[in-house]
Structure 1
Amino acid sequence: MRDASFAFLVHPRTRLAPDMGLIWAPLARVPERYYDLALRRLPLRPFTMAGVQIDGRRVGRIVMVPYGARHLLEAPVEGRARVHRAVDVAARTGAEVVGLGALTATVTRGGSSLSGRTDVGVTNGNAFTAAIVDTQARQLLDDRPGAPGRRVAVVGASGSVGGAVSELLAADAAVDHLSLIARSRPRLEALADRIGPRAPTTIGTDLTGLADADLVILLTASADALVRPEHLAPGAVVLDATQPRNTAPDLLVARPDVTIVDGGIVSIPSLRLTGGDIGLPNGRAYACFAETALLSLTGHTGHFCLGVPTLEQVAHTRALAADLAHLGFTPAAPTSFGKPLAGTAALVAA
């Protein structure tokens, strides 16, 4: 493993107080309305909030973009400028590769608005995220004893990760049927054309398409919990790989027959954050973070995944993960809202 220096950008999610409390515990007690007011009116600057250690060595840092999900999405031009300023901070602190976490990728068009930078390499993390979600989805389909159905719905299918996951699942007939759901029908039609005869496919622009799905994969860029109890089939499994999440814990109260699995979580046992955290315990990371680390630790230079990942990029991240298998970089044991998911086999890398 080479000496490395990378930065990964994060931002507070939909509810700001809990995430600010990860930086300093007393901040979790500040009323939400005060955060909202401050973030809309104050010119807050990005800052380094934590160091990253892997295998006992400091290899990177976490840079906070101090604006919530809605603040980034509701003012995308200013949101993009805020992300660019955070990349400036990362570059000044010596990062060679910068990863875009959560909606920092969305507001920069998957990092495409940063393509002109030559001082750092940028990746949106979507290639390894697609690889991990594909592996998780296949394992969940295989781990449903007595439930042979393999009908899969991908919500956010026209997006960067959603399109790649849909093509991966269709490539070797891993599913019986694909329901592709997103807001843009033209993009869905183009995706369905690419998939072609490899898997029976339908498209739709609303969540009624979830009603027949055995497995629902959530991959949208939304600040809200979108999926409601009435959307889901009896006994459905939901793989929620969104940040901010598109599911809420009360969904399980209304539908105890449904299983919700945290998607896109990677095991890196020696991973430690110093000075703050990003809402996951030591040893676990989001797949977009893991992609950034993989590139940095293996000596990648320049940009990697900007915009939509190619299947070749997905395969490349899987190869990098295999090269660093002694450090982990495999799907983490399944959890639901951060708690171990009883009765589900630990996932293994593809």
Structure 2
Amino acid sequence: MTTSTTDLPTGAGTFAFLVHPRARIADDLGRVWAPLGSGPERLYDLALRRLPLPPVRMAGVEVAGQRVGDVVLVPFGAKHLLEQPGEGRRRVAAAVDRAAGLGADVVGLGALTATVTAGGVSLRDRTDVGVTNGNAFTASTVDLQARLLLGAAVDQRADRHVAVVGATGSVGGAVAALLARDAAVDRLTLVARSRPRLEALVTRLDAICGGRVDTRATDDLAEVGGADLVILLTASTSAIIGPEHLAAGAVVLDATQPRNTSPTLLEQRPDVTVVDGGVVEIPSLRLLGGNIGLPDGRAYACFAETALLALSGHRGHFSLGVPTLEQVDRTRELAHGLAHLGFGAAPPTSFGRPVDLGTAPRPVLEAGR
């Protein structure tokens, strides 16, 4: 397999990536066709819930000047997917059918299309197309971003405290394991709703790091108040982190879609830095038609994983359910092989705007922390 600085690999395949309306339905429908953006939200909510709307091909995907895939819209909003998971799975399956009909070799599950299918597990019997939830490369990207933040926006010291909210989720567990594997942090606070799953994760991490990382589990969000860096990896439809949850000068890495922070957080807590998580730079990437809320040249890591697999000639399923560390490492190998196309963490932004971590607020370190 040979490439130049602009060529795609020999044997590259094609892919499709599934998306859905996120917080405000009209905003995301407007990305498909601009006039839809001014429609009444209540009507859209009712229509998406009750009408048997088919999946929509909303954009073509171009990398290095060549057509490599499509973006397919699942006509079901974030709240709909969480409140009606059975119907959500049916609509996601229909979107996978659409993607296969478009000729995709690999289909990526964006945002809550992964959550509602148990990370793609409900699609594992399909043999006509490969499926991935994108969580392996998302975990890889968030891990890299977290390490950069620990070095740039958090004072260098002996007690690096990171909280992972949504730690028992598919991405959260992998990110926690990556940080523990080489003791990249000194303390890990794992936050999730299920105590049994949290305790199992603590046991796993202790085995991975040999007890070198002080790992604690909690179902109380208030426990993130002592962390220098808070990583958000939950499946929720609204902001869950408020100004009352964060330590002075804390850094928040929000890798959720729909995102779990609001711009009002920065107004209420100007000492806090919020960084957009899981965003990858692919300079030659262009969407032809609609858009997914990012400028050309940037993609969410789950999208990037789908592209990595297809462009590398992968066939069959990849990451279904919880990704293994071996799968995370494999995506890093694939990204290295396609480094001439980018596939590295994008320069940091906060709610889409560039942020200079060199001048970002730094934590106020108190004695005993």
TM-score range, shorter chain: over 0.9
Instruction: Please give the alpha-carbon distance, in whole angstroms, between the structure 1 residues aligned to 2:223 and 2:154.
Output: 24
The equivalent of 1:5 in structure 2 is 14
Confirm or deny that 1:80 pairs with 2:79: no
Q: Is the 8 A contact 1:171 1:198 kept in 2?
A: no
1:207-218 matches, cutoff 5 A = 207-218=221-232
Instruction: Please give the alpha-carbon distance, in whole angstroms, between the structure 2 residues aligned to 1:135 and 1:247.
Output: 20
Q: TM-score when scaled to structure 2? A: 0.92
Q: Is the 8 A contact 1:154 1:218 kept in 2?
A: yes
What's the CA shift for 1:126? 0.3
The equivalent of 2:197 in structure 1 is 187
2:27 to 18, 30, 36: 18
1:336 to 350, 355, 362: 350
2:146 to 137, 151, 163: 137
Instruction: Please give the alpha-carbon distance, in whole angstroms, between the structure 2 residues aligned to 1:108 and 1:13.
Output: 17
Instruction: Please give the alpha-carbon distance, in whole angstroms, between the structure 1 residues aligned to 2:66 and 2:153.
Output: 40
- CA offsets 1:291-317 (integer angstroms, 9 cap, x no match): 000000001011000000000000000
What's the CA shift for 1:38? 1.1
Instruction: Please give the alpha-carbon distance, in whole angstroms, between the structure 2 residues aligned to 1:261 and 1:296.
Output: 29
Question: Which segments of 5 or more consecutive residues in structure 2 lack a partner in the other structure?
Answer: 1-8, 360-369
Q: Is the 8 A contact 1:334 1:344 kept in 2?
A: no
The equivalent of 2:3 in structure 1 is none
1:248-263 matches, cutoff 5 A = 248-263=262-277
Instruction: Please give the alpha-carbon distance, in whole angstroms, between the structure 2 residues aligned to 1:87 and 1:294.
Output: 18
**Amino acid of the residue matched to residue 168 of structure 1?**
L
Confirm or deny that 1:59 pairs with 2:65: no
- CA offsets 1:137-195 (integer angstroms, 9 cap, x no match): 00000003646351000000000000000010011111110000001111110000011
**What is the number of residues matched between the two proteins?**
345
* Runs of 4+ residues deviating >4 angstroms: none
Confirm or deny that 1:37 pairs with 2:46: yes
2:248 to 224, 231, 234: 234
Instruction: Please give the alpha-carbon distance, in whole angstroms, between the structure 2 residues aligned to 1:60 and 1:32.
Output: 30
Q: TM-score when scaled to structure 1? A: 0.97
Instruction: Please give the alpha-carbon distance, in whole angstroms, between the structure 1 residues aligned to 2:223 and 2:257.
Output: 22
The equivalent of 1:114 in structure 2 is 123
Instruction: Please give the alpha-carbon distance, in whole angstroms, between the structure 2 residues aligned to 1:223 and 1:147.
Output: 34
Q: Name the Cα RMSD after superposition.
A: 1.1
Structure 1 residues 146 and 199: alpha-carbon distance in aligned structure 2, compared to 1, 3 A threshold? closer
Instruction: Please give the alpha-carbon distance, in whole angstroms, between the structure 1 residues aligned to 2:78 and 2:315.
Output: 30
